[in-house]
Structure 1
Amino acid sequence: MTAGSPGPVDDSDDKGGLRAALGGLTTRGRSFLAAGVAAAVCAFVLGQGDLLRVGLLLAVLPLVCVTVLYRTRYRVVGSRRLSPSRVPAGAEARVHLHMDNVSRLHTGLLMLQDRVPYVLGPRPRFVLDRVEPGGVREVSYRVRSDLRGRYPLGPLQLQLSDPFGMCELTRSFSAYDTLVVVPRTEPLPPLRLAGEASGYGDGRQRSLALAGEDDIIPRGYRHGDDLRRVHWRSTARHGELMVRREEQPQRAGCTVLLDTRRIAYQGGGPGSAFEWAVSGAASALVHMLERGFAVRLLTDEGSAAPGGDTDGFPGSIHESAESAGLMMDALAVVGHSDGGGLSRAHDVLRGGDEGLLVAFFGDLDEEQAAVAARMRQRSRGAVAFVLDSGDWTRDGRTAAPAVGSERLRLLREAGWTALPVPPGAELARLWQQAGQEGPGVRSSAAGTTTGFSGGRS
């Protein structure tokens, strides 16, 4: 048999193929072979010719099945398609398997099996009856995971058996696919946060290039640019295709900071404080991208998600769409860092023009709270959602301890709009509260509020 994905692969010339085929004898085939050998030995000892013929028949039948199955030239091509290939945690994706018999013979009974990680569900198995020459069979199954991550699917295995059930041969396809399970996102209300600069959707700021051929600022050609915008003089000067940058949108920037320090979180699982912070960061970046902001994702280690320029911000709307997928892919696999501080993230935030800063912090001691407070000086506006992981690991919803109130006070005095996140809080309600509260003195009066209040009207 020949199997392939997407093209057929022929392994019939393998010297160990026949031995592997003998190893594919089923329990029935081994029983027939053992009974035949035993009958032949008894016939030789007792001198019974008829018993010898029965023994030879029992022994030869499974061997004939092995030889016929091994010599059969089935050429089957298989492929896999994910719909969709990126899903939020808890959502289902459907996997479509396509089998095509490209040989001139009918296939026997086929068993199709795909390898999937245990977190996605049981291993799917399908039985396909005889497939005619040129025939196509399509089957599908569903996968679901409550845990974010990247999960490989495959390789696909095809099992062929003879009509008597004496032998089974298994062939594996070479290709596999990857299912990306991203964090859950929550729709957020379109509010204007404290200190937020204007961006697309809130008064678009555009700067047109000065008129005249000499005042045009060219840039490198990108896929999809209109060829009518090619600036030939600059192309000849730089030796590469350049286009006119006729319009330079001044997009408001937003940095989403995710605290991933291992010492800042306790517990694990889908309902843990860390998973809430990851989901909150995903919801915030998706929301700000939908509002037209240039968004970058930053962690406590100072690393930005791929997809932006040297500053980590995407340069255009088209790049924002691409970077959104890259940032969600990064959040799908983000884990705890071994670092103990936020100084690297503080160094990445350059002074004065960082736009809006939305941070999701875990436990903050006095030193790290001071570092976080200094980040406010390097952004136009800052909103912090602070999680007390110790409170999340306890049963019931309890008030934040004194140390939590103290770190919130330090952030608010520095100009942050800082909100505590109790267990099971809804980010949409906290987001609404952050939009109604102001930084500094105004937010300090809200020190006794919880994440479930809608804020002051």
Structure 2
Amino acid sequence: MAAGGPAAPDGAVGGGLRGALGGLTTRGRSFLAAGLAAAACAYVLGQPDLLRVGLLLAALPLVCVTVLYRTRYRVTGSRRLSPQRVPAGAEARVRLRMDNVSRLPTGLLMLQDQVPYVLGPRPRFVLDRVEPGGKREVSYRVRSDLRGRYPLGPLQLRLSDPFGMCELTRSFSSYDLLTVVPRSEPLPPVRLAGEAPGYGDGRHSSLAQVGEDDVLPREYRYGDDLRRVHWRSTARYGELMVRREEQPQQARCTVLLDTRAGAYDSAGPDSAFEWAVSGAASAVTHLLERGYAVRLLTDSGEALPGDGSDGYAAPGHDAADSAGLMMDALAVVDHSAGTGLDGAHDVLRAGGEGLLIAFLGELDEAQAELVGRMRRRSRAAVAFVRDDGAGSRDAVRLLREAGWSASAVRPGDSLAALWRQAGRGAAAAAGGGTTGFSGGWS
């Protein structure tokens, strides 16, 4: 996406000519100081030749400031970010373009883009003379191990005279946003509840959208099977009506992310909280690709972002677009101030049918029992609980007793391995076996 516009390199900066004097470089200030000192010594000693030298030294930086201040450049700048959304640890390329739209060639130009320190050092480029109507393109890379949304810009343009006596800075007004999303791990296509057609597990019946069938009659259309004619409606409306077939059920899943600050004891890219966020991102992406309507829920009961009226990703949306919206939300999700999971419990109690996948921090006995009750309206439930020793083992035991497929995990463990175990646990539950599976990952 291009951004930018005319820079301000024609006109004053910071208080007019007086502000331009503040742009004197070390060389320019040295020349000015040496010239004034020589002129003062020449006056005291009565040396006219030394006075002329001193005046020349002092006048040179002042002339450079005046010429540079009066120079009228008209340039435009644009920035192209590719891609605009990257996973943590991946690189994005930023391309800068400068166009000289004036009738005069420019002098020496220095470009500097404002970049947050987490993305690396500020890039600087030196451009030689740009001819009238000419353009220059440069590029640099940015990378962050921390998810978030980072501004790039505004672009700064430094003008310099040929002698290096003065530098003036002009700034563009526009900037771009780089979204660093959590790392997501490809998950194996295991069988979970609600994935097999013809079964009701995890599926939600809803009215059809445009072009789909529902349970209401509609007007006859060319090509409809005459065996579907609904004669009672035909007599009522005075035109041929046909039955609409029942719409196939839509598989649903809620991904619960525990963001309580008290449930995690560390921070940084390798912390338990960041593992939970990455796990939620992996699950969301995988389930959307498999045709689920996915809702991303936090411990407070807030749906992130929820492009449907009930908080689920709208089934009519493209899976990639829905995944992008949720990944953007996960890029900026932070710890909550809550101490319990009551908000999520209330939302799931009101409507939590389908598959439930939870990424949980530290759970005490009361919170583990509360999470266990969230399972009641779900066909299947899978929980990943932060491993904090004996407490996590007790929480996993309580969840399994409530019908969850639960496991205590550590940051850095493979989610794909546990996902396979979740598939086996769901199959065992469907066959009347144990719903839990062994804790810890290989």
Q: TM-score, normalised by structure 1?
A: 0.83
2:218 maps to a residue whose letter is: G
Match of 2:412 among 424, 438, 446: 424
Q: Deviations over 1:353-404 (max 9, x none)?
A: 621111001111011001100000021211111112x4xxxxxxxxxx3332
Pairwise CA distance, 1:311 = 1.1
Partner of 2:28: 29
2:154 maps to a residue whose letter is: P
Q: Deviations over 1:294-321 (max 9, x none)?
A: 1110000110012422210133332654
Partner of 1:455: none
Q: Relative to structure 1, is the Cα distance of residues 335 and 200 closer, same or farther in structure 2, using a 3 angstrom cutoff?
A: farther
Q: 2:96 aligns to what SS in structure 1?
A: strand
Task: Report which stretch shifted further, 305-314 or 127-136.
Answer: 305-314
State how far apart, in whole Å, the 2-side matches of 1:154 and 1:197 are.
Answer: 46
* Contact 1:83-1:94 at 8 Å conserved across structures: yes
* Contact 2:112-2:122 at 8 Å conserved across structures: yes
1:309 maps to a residue whose letter is: G
Q: Deviations over 1:214-273 (max 9, x none)?
A: 99xxxxxxxxxxxxxxxxxxxxxxxxxxxxx99956321111000011111111111111
Partner of 1:154: 153
Pairwise CA distance, 1:431 = 0.2
Partner of 2:401: 413
Pairwise CA distance, 1:444 = 6.3
Aligned pairs (5 A) from 1:290-439: 290-318=289-317, 320-350=319-349, 354-388=353-387, 390=388, 401-438=389-426
- In the alignment, structure 1 residue 78 sits paired with structure 2 residue 40: no
Aligned pairs (5 A) from 1:23-422: 23-193=22-192, 195-196=193-194, 198=196, 208-209=213-214, 210-213=216-219, 250-318=249-317, 320-350=319-349, 354-388=353-387, 390=388, 401-422=389-410
Partner of 2:440: 450
Pairwise CA distance, 1:423 = 4.1
* Contact 1:199-1:251 at 8 Å conserved across structures: no
1:102 maps to a residue whose letter is: V
**How much identity, in percent, do the aligned residues show?**
70
* Contact 1:383-1:418 at 8 Å conserved across structures: yes
1:213 maps to a residue whose letter is: E
Q: Relative to structure 1, is the Cα distance of residues 432 and 49 closer, same or farther in structure 2, using a 3 angstrom cutoff?
A: same
2:344 maps to a residue whose letter is: A
Q: Relative to structure 1, is the Cα distance of residues 214 and 54 closer, same or farther in structure 2, using a 3 angstrom cutoff?
A: same
* Contact 2:27-2:165 at 8 Å conserved across structures: yes
State how far apart, in whole Å, the 2-side matches of 1:40 and 1:351 are.
Answer: 87
Q: Relative to structure 1, is the Cα distance of residues 411 and 77 closer, same or farther in structure 2, using a 3 angstrom cutoff?
A: same
2:304 maps to a residue whose letter is: A
State how far apart, in whole Å, the 2-side matches of 1:179 and 1:200 are.
Answer: 43
State how far apart, in whole Å, the 2-side matches of 1:415 and 1:249 are.
Answer: 27
* Contact 1:151-1:178 at 8 Å conserved across structures: yes
2:316 maps to a residue whose letter is: I
State how far apart, in whole Å, the 2-side matches of 1:200 and 1:125 are.
Answer: 61
Q: Relative to structure 1, is the Cα distance of residues 185 and 202 closer, same or farther in structure 2, using a 3 angstrom cutoff?
A: farther
2:359 maps to a residue whose letter is: F
* Contact 2:152-2:176 at 8 Å conserved across structures: yes
State how far apart, in whole Å, the 2-side matches of 1:284 and 1:188 are.
Answer: 8
State how far apart, in whole Å, the 2-side matches of 1:315 and 1:200 are.
Answer: 22
State how far apart, in whole Å, the 2-side matches of 1:407 and 1:429 are.
Answer: 21
* Contact 1:353-1:380 at 8 Å conserved across structures: no
* Contact 2:14-2:20 at 8 Å conserved across structures: no
Q: Relative to structure 1, is the Cα distance of residues 291 and 111 closer, same or farther in structure 2, using a 3 angstrom cutoff?
A: same
State how far apart, in whole Å, the 1-side matches of 2:280 and 2:379 are.
Answer: 19
Q: Relative to structure 1, is the Cα distance of residues 32 and 285 closer, same or farther in structure 2, using a 3 angstrom cutoff?
A: same
State how far apart, in whole Å, the 2-side matches of 1:362 and 1:406 are.
Answer: 13
State how far apart, in whole Å, the 2-side matches of 1:322 and 1:444 are.
Answer: 34
Pairwise CA distance, 1:352 = 6.4
Number of equivalenced pairs:
407
1:302 maps to a residue whose letter is: G
Structure 1 vs Structure 2 CA RMSD: 2.7
* Contact 1:353-1:379 at 8 Å conserved across structures: yes
State how far apart, in whole Å, the 2-side matches of 1:103 and 1:294 are.
Answer: 54
Pairwise CA distance, 1:420 = 1.7
State how far apart, in whole Å, the 1-side matches of 2:198 and 2:179 are.
Answer: 30
